A and B are shown apart, each in its own frame.
Chain A
Amino acid sequence: MRRWAVGLCALALVGVSALGQEVLNIYTAFDVDQAQTYVEEFENAHPDIRVEFVRLSAGALLARLRAEHPRPGASLWLAGPSDTHIIAAAEGLLEPYTASLGWQYLPEWAKCPDGYWSGIYTGFIGFATNKDFLEEHGLEPPTSWYDLLEPEYEFKVSMAYPYTSGTGYTRLASLVFLLGEEEGLEFERKLAEHAVHHYTSSGSAPATEAGLGEVAVGIAFSHDIVARAVGLGYPVVMSFPKEGTGYEVGAISLIKNGPEPELAKVFYDWMMSAEAQTLYQEWYRVPLNPAAEVHPEAVTAAEVTLVDYDFVWAADNRDRLSDLWQELTGF
């Protein structure tokens, strides 16, 4: 009889883990493998700190912070468009921090005046188009938002949900800034009705899906299109809408009441450094630290037409626009 009891205990004890290292918990909107790049380098630079991270789309990340408030499960929020950080700051979910290394070099548009977040990269909404598809149909890559409504692309475009994904919301807000609120939402409705193959909850997935050929066009951030499709060898060509496109300032922020505030500041400072932002080269991101090296294939602001993107307005209207969007599109 004792034997089965021992067996039971053995089964229950299969995993009892005990580790006594300093641990920093991070929520990140970077894709897992990309986050791993930075986390590994950081751990090399700070061998006494171990980093645990969870990857969530920016909208989902904000949702989680709201759900966990006032006892968040992480101390640092790494990446994701600044709109979501702005909302979190307004809701009292973040802790200001202006003592970081990067605070001096950041231009006004790339940081929160009250210090709740700092910009760490920029990126632009673009189209990832499958080359085989273009060849098969004798088409040129789309260069206008309106190209996506052409019959050739019917149900062949994927893009992210505006409410789960920072990329998705940047797209929606860009169209609103470009066409006005009513027209912009109407355009999204037309996309939903005529062009969309499916919506994704992750912002970078459409780039890869275009690469796989599951869709003809994926709408995503430029750095994701290069890192997730072109750079991997998928037959994808990147293009931008000539009318103008939206962009993000990817941000970093301290989570209020986070369990490891001091460790979080160490990571924060490190992420602002030229050394850390030079690592972006592997992922084609555009750094905001002027001393960091930029990958030659990374898309910079000089190469695209930008809409007049108001980050604060975008943040303030995120929930309202998302609701309207869902009512209109039914998705």
Chain B
Amino acid sequence: MWGGKLRLPPTSDPGSLTMRERIGRTGGELRRLAHDRGLLLVLVVVVALVATFVVFPLFQVFRESIFPRGQFDATHFVRFFQGAPFLITPFFNSLILGGLVALTGTVVGFTFAFAIARANVPGSRVFRWIATLPMISPPFIMALAAILLLGNRGMITQVIHNVFGVRWSIYGLPGLVLTQTLAYFPVAFMALEGVLRAIDRSTEEAAFDLGASKLRTFVKVTLPLAAPGIGAALLLLFVISLGDFGNPIVIGGRFQVLTVQAYLAITGRYNMPLGATLAILLLVPTALVFIVQRYWLSRRSHVTVTGRPTPSTAHASGPLLRWVLFGVLCFLSGVILLFYGMVVYGAFTHLWGVNHALTMDNFRYVFSVGRRYFMNTVQLAAIATPIGGILGILIAFLVTRKRFPGRKTLDFLSMMNFAVPGIVVGIGYLLAFNAPPLRLTGTAAIILAVFVFQRMPVAIRDGAAMLQQVDAAIDESASDLGAGFMRTFGRIVLPLVAPAMFSGMAYMFATCVTSISAVVMVVSARWQLMTVALLNDVDNAQLSRAAAWGVVIIAVVLAAIFVLDVLVSRLLSRRGSHGR
């Protein structure tokens, strides 16, 4: 799953140094490094981890796509350029789907963001809560619900058929656009809400004062100011849609996409070169998007906030618009709740489509036969979360507070998985860790590694944000008083950011428990996950039981968020009482 923020952290400062200055600086950095053994040790470990678990797997995907079994063989790329349908069709389908979802998701996200941030619709807290729901549940819950509701024999489909005599098919492109939009618009919403809030209202007010109508102000002032945010949301949604695996495998129908084809090529027939080629085809547009994002969009920033945002007296919308927006939000939220409600209802039915009598059987199954899936998921996510959280802060601390040669490279590489679709990460792990020296397939370690390193960019970004709250003078004075790196980090930095770290962990835990696209490649006999169980049941058309898995997954996530929330508030209140 993806974080709400859009930009990779800045990895470059103006390269205006001369060669000599650069060498001189590097020398100084090296000397300082030699003094602090702890820092040096930590650096070596972090670099080794990033090289092993981020760079090496990705390298293996490239290698396998053109050098399978050690010999140059680009058959699949040749077939791609010759127009072989089994490569061309999923490629263009993925692009088309990504484009459409980028549009619809951004429109829905913008609507939510505008209504909540600018139009002050009533009940905005409820709407925001509903909009975050898809972020803490497995994305393909939406596809499952879509089948229950709108499938060829779905609840709504049947009603429409009985009343109007019309039938449609939700499978394929329409269903995918619908389900991905519902699953991923929150990403656009979170991003755009920030952008819209950051727009200084006095610019809009100035437009009003100069006699512009509200519509004209919106089109001529608000939209252009929000444009970079909108552009970023479009690109991000495009990439997320491209990388989505859960929805297409459930509701794709005849519409093939790259993620699913790569998965089938590898798990279905062990055709690693074909799988790796499809992964590269997936990676190319994704990488292009991030390049566009970094070098084009980031230069067109129109951020208007320089000081404190001015509290607004006049809203950007009149009462009419506000109520229209309220209506639209009610409708969209209704759809989301209906989808979730359907999954909950489905989970309590005996046998979907035949016997809708209510039962607990599906949950009994989940906690008897499926107990292992449940336990493994909770165990692994619970172990990965603190590791990932601390590692994220550690790397953030290194790249923002410390000076050492190769800092920018480390920054870039550790953020790289942000741009790599999950299925590609999974394929890379399968290729990289199936042979000595690091044979991890079939172990818990490989799942933990996927959890930790796929989410690391978000953890680092969160870590960097937390560190901004900590005055650099504090940890510098610890260093000046003779504390080594380990001591400074362990005794000063970590305790200071602990509350924020716990809040970040709730989200991290949620993304571990709900993730599917990377881990589906590395689960094993001994180590299984709930999302994979859900996928298997959908695959076997056992919809009631799949729904029960969905409910349990969401319940686990909500419970984790609740527990960490309590923990954080305890921590803060203790700290408060100490202060007094």
Interchain CA distance A3-B499 in the complex, whole Å = 12
Contacts of A38-54 to chain B: CB distance below 8 A:
52-54
A212-B153 contact in complex given A14-B378, A15-B378, A59-B269, C-beta closer than 8 Å: yes
* Nearest B residue (CB) for A54: B525
Contacts of A213 in B (CB 8 A): 152-153, 353
Out of B353, B380, B442, B491, which one reaches A234, CB within 8 Å?
B353
A-binding segment of B20-28, B45-53, B288-296, B534-542: B534-542
Q: Assess whether A331 is in contact with B439, with CB atoms less than 8 Å apart.
A: no
Q: Is A201 an interface residue (CB 8 A)?
A: yes
Q: Is A74 an interface residue (CB 8 A)?
A: yes
B-binding segment of A26-34, A264-272, A290-298: A26-34
Q: Assess whether B268 is in contact with A164, with CB atoms less than 8 Å apart.
A: yes
Given A14-B382, A15-B380, 5 extra CB contacts under 8 A:
A32-B369, A32-B540, A196-B254, A198-B252, A319-B269
Out of A4, A27, A63, A330, which one reaches B268, CB within 8 Å?
A63
Q: Assess whether B354 is in contact with A73, with CB atoms less than 8 Å apart.
A: no
Interchain CA distance A209-B251 in the complex, whole Å = 13
Interface size class of B (residues with CB under 8 A): 35 or more
Q: Is B528 an interface residue (CB 8 A)?
A: yes
Interface string of A53-76 (1 = CB under 8 A from B): 111010110111011100101100
Out of A33, A73, A196, A215, which one reaches B442, CB within 8 Å?
A73
Contacts of A286-331 to chain B: CB distance below 8 A:
319, 322, 326-327, 329-331
Q: Is A155 an interface residue (CB 8 A)?
A: yes
Interchain CA distance A7-B540 in the complex, whole Å = 40
Contacts of A204 in B (CB 8 A): 540
Interchain CA distance A214-B498 in the complex, whole Å = 50
Q: Assess whether B254 is in contact with A54, with CB atoms less than 8 Å apart.
A: no
Q: Is A205 an interface residue (CB 8 A)?
A: yes
Q: Assess whether A198 is in contact with B383, with CB atoms less than 8 Å apart.
A: no
B interface residue numbers (CB < 8 A to A): 84-86, 89, 147, 151-153, 169, 171, 252-254, 256, 264, 266-270, 351-355, 365, 369, 372, 375-376, 378-380, 382-383, 385-387, 430, 434, 439, 441-442, 491, 494-495, 498, 502, 505, 524-526, 528, 536, 539-543, 567, 571, 574
Contacts of A1 in B (CB 8 A): 491, 495
A201-B539 contact in complex given A3-B571, A213-B152, A214-B152, C-beta closer than 8 Å: yes
Q: Is A139 an interface residue (CB 8 A)?
A: no
A214-B525 contact in complex given A15-B382, A198-B252, C-beta closer than 8 Å: no
Contacts of B354 in A (CB 8 A): 211, 232-235
B437 → A minimal CB distance (Å): 14
Q: Assess whether B525 is in contact with A27, with CB atoms less than 8 Å apart.
A: yes
Q: Assess whether A330 is in contact with B442, with CB atoms less than 8 Å apart.
A: no
Q: Assess whether A31 is in contact with B525, with CB atoms less than 8 Å apart.
A: no
Q: Assess whether A73 is in contact with B269, with CB atoms less than 8 Å apart.
A: no
* Majority secondary structure of chain B interface residues (helix, strand, loop or mixed): helix
Which of A55, A164, A196, A326 has the most chain B CB atoms inside 10 A of its CB? Answer: A326
B115 → A minimal CB distance (Å): 36
Interface string of A180-219 (1 = CB under 8 A from B): 0000000000000000111011101100110111110000
A131 → B minimal CB distance (Å): 12
A283 → B minimal CB distance (Å): 14
Q: Is A161 an interface residue (CB 8 A)?
A: yes
Contacts of B540 in A (CB 8 A): 31-32, 202, 204-205, 208
- CB<8 Å pairs between A and B, sample of 21: A7-B502, A12-B387, A17-B375, A31-B540, A32-B540, A52-B525, A54-B524, A59-B269, A63-B266, A67-B430, A67-B441, A71-B442, A73-B441, A73-B442, A155-B169, A165-B268, A201-B267, A209-B541, A214-B147, A228-B541, A330-B86
Contacts of A277 in B (CB 8 A): none
Q: Assess whether B379 is in contact with A15, with CB atoms less than 8 Å apart.
A: yes
Interchain CA distance A14-B571 in the complex, whole Å = 20
Interchain CA distance A228-B542 in the complex, whole Å = 9
Q: Assess whether A14 is in contact with B379, with CB atoms less than 8 Å apart.
A: yes
* Nearest A residue (CB) for B524: A73
Q: Assess whether B542 is in contact with A208, with CB atoms less than 8 Å apart.
A: yes
* Nearest B residue (CB) for A234: B354
A12-B382 contact in complex given A205-B539, A212-B541, C-beta closer than 8 Å: yes
* Nearest B residue (CB) for A318: B269
Q: Please name the 6 residue pairs, one residue from A and one from B, whose CB atoms are nearest each other, closest first.
A: A15-B379, A164-B268, A330-B85, A213-B153, A63-B270, A208-B541
Q: Is A280 an interface residue (CB 8 A)?
A: no
Contacts of A1-39 to chain B: CB distance below 8 A:
1, 3-4, 7-8, 11-12, 14-17, 25-27, 31-33, 36
Q: Is A163 an interface residue (CB 8 A)?
A: yes
Residues of A in contact (CB 8 Å), total: 66
Which of A32, A60, A163 has the most chain B CB atoms inside 10 A of its CB? Answer: A32
Contacts of A17 in B (CB 8 A): 375, 379
Q: Assess whether B268 is in contact with A201, with CB atoms less than 8 Å apart.
A: yes
Interchain CA distance A204-B355 in the complex, whole Å = 20
* Nearest A residue (CB) for B79: A327
B260 → A minimal CB distance (Å): 9
B384 → A minimal CB distance (Å): 9
A71 → B minimal CB distance (Å): 7
A214-B151 contact in complex given A232-B351, A233-B354, C-beta closer than 8 Å: yes
A326-B542 contact in complex given A4-B495, A15-B379, A211-B353, C-beta closer than 8 Å: no
B310 → A minimal CB distance (Å): 38
Contacts of B171 in A (CB 8 A): 197-198
Q: Assess whether B369 is in contact with A7, with CB atoms less than 8 Å apart.
A: no
Q: Assess whether A66 is in contact with B525, with CB atoms less than 8 Å apart.
A: no
Interchain CA distance A200-B269 in the complex, whole Å = 14
Interchain CA distance A208-B537 in the complex, whole Å = 11
Q: Assess whether B152 is in contact with A215, with CB atoms less than 8 Å apart.
A: yes
Q: Assess whether B386 is in contact with A12, with CB atoms less than 8 Å apart.
A: yes
Contacts of B254 in A (CB 8 A): 155, 196-198
Out of B379, B441, B528, B567, which one reaches A7, CB within 8 Å?
B567
A208 → B minimal CB distance (Å): 4
Interchain CA distance A207-B252 in the complex, whole Å = 19
A36-B536 contact in complex given A25-B525, A73-B525, C-beta closer than 8 Å: no
Interface string of A85-126 (1 = CB under 8 A from B): 000000000000000000000000000000000000000000
Interface string of A127-158 (1 = CB under 8 A from B): 00000000000000000000000000001000
Q: Assess whether A163 is in contact with B264, with CB atoms less than 8 Å apart.
A: yes
Interchain CA distance A71-B434 in the complex, whole Å = 9
Interchain CA distance A73-B382 in the complex, whole Å = 24
* Nearest A residue (CB) for B528: A54
Interchain CA distance A71-B441 in the complex, whole Å = 10
Interchain CA distance A11-B541 in the complex, whole Å = 36
Interchain CA distance A71-B524 in the complex, whole Å = 13
Contacts of A232 in B (CB 8 A): 351, 354
Contacts of B386 in A (CB 8 A): 8, 11-12
B544 → A minimal CB distance (Å): 11
* Nearest B residue (CB) for A35: B369
A33-B369 contact in complex given A11-B382, A54-B525, C-beta closer than 8 Å: yes
A100 → B minimal CB distance (Å): 22
* Nearest B residue (CB) for A7: B567
* Nearest B residue (CB) for A204: B540
B436 → A minimal CB distance (Å): 10
Contacts of B152 in A (CB 8 A): 213-215
* Nearest A residue (CB) for B355: A233
A86 → B minimal CB distance (Å): 16
Out of A15, A25, A31, A212, which one reaches B353, CB within 8 Å?
A212
Q: Assess whether B539 is in contact with A200, with CB atoms less than 8 Å apart.
A: yes
Contacts of A32 in B (CB 8 A): 369, 536, 540
Q: Assess whether A67 is in contact with B434, with CB atoms less than 8 Å apart.
A: yes
Which of B526, B541, B542 has the most chain A CB atoms inside 10 A of its CB? Answer: B541
A212-B89 contact in complex given A12-B383, A52-B372, C-beta closer than 8 Å: no
Interchain CA distance A63-B269 in the complex, whole Å = 5
B397 → A minimal CB distance (Å): 17
